[in-house]
């Protein structure tokens, strides 16, 4: 049990540190957050027109419309601009709880990966790295990549994260777990 606890903590730290490097130091993900000098005007328009916090797809379709009306509405917007907007009423710069929650998630997923890897007979370094990267690529394909298809965004940064962070964790676990 002590071995799994140490493996989980170190694995979680590796994930957390890579995520910090990827988002803050390098930053690989800078293309995901563009800037517009019109941001104040856009935010003012959003705050005047949105009453609920949440994510909006625009143009959206009124759910009370009939199927025919929905099809006509969608056809009317074909070839015109569209946006996906996540709206919050107040910006909060308190990162403490977000970082805590992120690290807690990293510990959980490291623990789950360790559980999977310990089911492999005669686990070695290369098997652990390959299995870990496979888990990362599965996570990438089912969320970031799938979202990039539907929302026409770039997801290459997330693929880099999937391969690097899970490869690093796999290397750690492949070295540490088989040891007595």
Find all residues with CB under 8 Å of 179, minimum gap 6, and list them: none
pTM over 0.75: yes
- pLDDT at position 116, please? 97
Residue 78 within a domain = no
User: Residue 74: is its pLDDT beyond 80?
Assistant: yes
- Over residues 14-68, the pLDDT tens digits come to 999 999 999 999 989 988 888 999 999 999 999 999 999 999 999 988 889 899 9
Which structural domain range is residue 160 located in?
2-33+93-176
How wide is the angle at C-alpha 48 spanned by C-alphas 47 and 51, nearest 5°? 70
Q: Is residue 103 part of a domain?
A: yes
For residue 178, the surrounding DSSP H or E stretch is: none
pLDDT at 180: 67
168 domain-assigned: yes
Tell whether 9 is covered by a domain. yes
Three-class SS of residue 121?
Answer: coil
How many CB atoms within 10 Å of residue 131? 20
Count of domains for the chain: 1
Instruction: Work out the percent of the chain whose per-residue pLDDT is above 90.
Output: 85
Report if residue 127 sits inside a domain: yes
Rounded distance between C-alpha atoms, residue 59 and residue 138, angstroms:
31
Q: Has residue 79 been placed in a domain?
A: no
């Amino acid at each position: 049990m002590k071995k799994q606890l140490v493996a989980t903590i170190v694995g979680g730290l590796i994930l957390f540190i890579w995520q910090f490097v990827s988002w803050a130091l390098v930053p690989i993900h800078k293309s995901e957050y563009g800037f517009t000098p019109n941001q104040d005007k856009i935010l003012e328009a959003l705050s005047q027109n949105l009453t609920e916090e949440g994510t909006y797809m625009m143009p959206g379709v009124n759910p009370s419309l009939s199927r025919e009306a929905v099809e006509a509405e969608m056809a009317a917007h074909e070839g015109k601009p569209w946006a996906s907007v996540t709206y919050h009423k107040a910006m909060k710069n308190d990162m403490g709880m977000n970082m805590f929650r992120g690290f807690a998630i990293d510990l959980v997923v490291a623990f789950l990966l360790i559980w999977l890897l310990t089911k492999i007979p005669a686990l070695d370094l290369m098997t652990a790295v390959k299995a870990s990267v496979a888990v990362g690529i599965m996570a990438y394909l089912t969320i970031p990549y799938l979202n990039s298809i539907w929302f026409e965004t770039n997801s290459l940064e997330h693929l880099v994260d999937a391969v690097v962070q899970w490869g690093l964790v796999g290397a750690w676990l492949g070295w540490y777990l088989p040891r007595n």
